[in-house]
A = this chain, B = another copy of it.
Amino acid sequence: MSFGLDNLPYGVFSRPGEPRRVGVRVGDQVLDLAAALGGDVYAAPSLNPLLALGRAAWQETRARAREAAATGDHLIPLAEVTLHLPVEVADYVDFYASLEHASNLGRMFRPDDEPLKQNWRHLPVGYHGRAGTVVVSGTPIRRPCGQRPSFGPSQKLDIEAEVGFVVGVPTRLGERAGAFEDHVFGVALVNDWSARDIQAWEYVPLGPFLGKSFATSMSAWITPLDALEEARVEGRSQEPEPLTYLRRQAPWGLDLTLHVELNGETVSTPSFRDMYWTPDQMLAHMTVNGASLRTGDLFASGTVSSPGQPGSLIELTWNGAEPVKLPGETRTFLEDGDTVTITAWTSHGISLGEVSGRILPAT
């Protein structure tokens, strides 16, 4: 991974005995932004104060960080720092924006019915997840217990490879969001761990709850939108045409390829380019009812599945019926000790870092 001067993602780091502060990744080093640029905003234990400043300040910070990085000063080897959750997450919303993912799950769970529910092509279906259990990449994931419907450790522990969007500029209650780039600071990789057996029993009629709330992992590095300019693409064509408030004003599809690795083996490479609903549409939908945004809100795309390249094991193994082959073994769902790492790259070579987690046995 290069992380050159055209990338410069933001994170929060600390050195032993020192407080958390904001850094920018440059190659395998961290630019200490508080030391390089000065100011309370960068000495904060999360990106939230920077997020709240808005687009002009984000662009100025990025220009100054690039200059500072070029000097070679205030750079600390990654090996010497601990990375922390970069954002104090306000509300966490998860969408369901992949046509392939929604269709696959529909086919599996409602084989006698249309795979897509009637509303799916009319709005980006979404729900609120648990903000308090969003953890930084590298945090071990404890296998959850629950009703499956008999009580015990989940036997269908799964991943969801997703792309997340971090909100900087808030709105007031009753107000709709403006342009995507005026509110959204940047992009994270997200793994929305899912206990499929718990979820299947509990989710009717109010949606997923404990099957998801035990943990959601996000990457330590947030890639600013400005680093992704060259990756912007038109969104996938939509039929029927969305209502006025959902119409795209600018291309906010992103040409990103995700790499899902299970114990070091790549098992799928879905493309974010194939998503049916684009993130600008998600933002417009989320606020059309007047719901306000807060600095630190995180909304994620839902599982990114492309034709033949699904972003979850339930799809990859067709609910366990077709195990995936790994060297010397197979997998249906996750076993204790398994490590899942999701990376993503633009076709121009910008890395979105990684989101990784290892499964601990249930207690």
Complex Cα–Cα for A133 and B292 (A): 7
In the complex, which residues of chain B have a beta carbon less than 8 angstroms from the beta carbon of A209?
A: 93, 125-128
- A49 on interface, CB distance cutoff 8 Å: no
User: Quick one: CB contact mask for A89-124 with B, threshold 8 Å, 1 for yes?
Assistant: 011010010000000000000000000011100110
- A16 on interface, CB distance cutoff 8 Å: no
Complex interface: stretch among A138-146, A310-318, A343-351:
A138-146
Complex Cα–Cα for A285 and B145 (A): 11
Complex Cα–Cα for A288 and B154 (A): 12
Complex Cα–Cα for A117 and B286 (A): 28
- A195 on interface, CB distance cutoff 8 Å: yes
- A266 on interface, CB distance cutoff 8 Å: no
Is A122 a contact partner of B142 (Cβ separation < 8 A)? Answer: no
Complex Cα–Cα for A125 and B207 (A): 9
Is B213 a contact partner of A132 (Cβ separation < 8 A)? Answer: no
In the complex, which residues of chain B have a beta carbon less than 8 angstroms from the beta carbon of A133?
A: 173, 291-292
In the complex, which residues of chain B have a beta carbon less than 8 angstroms from the beta carbon of A96?
A: 206
Nearest Cβ on chain B to A136's Cβ, whole angstroms:
12
Given contacts A130-B91, A133-B173, A285-B210, contact A125 B202 (CB under 8 A): yes
In the complex, which residues of chain B have a beta carbon less than 8 angstroms from the beta carbon of A201?
A: 119
Is B145 a contact partner of A288 (Cβ separation < 8 A)? Answer: yes
Nearest Cβ on chain B to A248's Cβ, whole angstroms:
17
Is B215 a contact partner of A173 (Cβ separation < 8 A)? Answer: yes
- A243 on interface, CB distance cutoff 8 Å: yes
Q: Which 10 interchain pairs have the tightest Cβ spacing?
A: A207-B207, A144-B289, A128-B128, A127-B206, A142-B174, A213-B291, A206-B207, A210-B289, A214-B289, A132-B294
Q: Which residues of A contact B (CB under 8 A)?
A: 90-91, 93, 96, 117-119, 122-123, 125-133, 135, 139, 142, 144-147, 149, 151, 173-174, 195, 198, 201-211, 213-215, 243-245, 285-286, 288-294, 297, 363
Q: A125-B209, A128-B209, A203-B206 are in contact. List 20 more A-B contacts (CB 8 A).
A: A91-B132, A119-B147, A119-B149, A119-B204, A125-B202, A127-B128, A128-B128, A128-B213, A132-B294, A132-B297, A133-B292, A135-B173, A142-B174, A144-B289, A173-B215, A174-B363, A207-B207, A207-B208, A210-B286, A214-B290
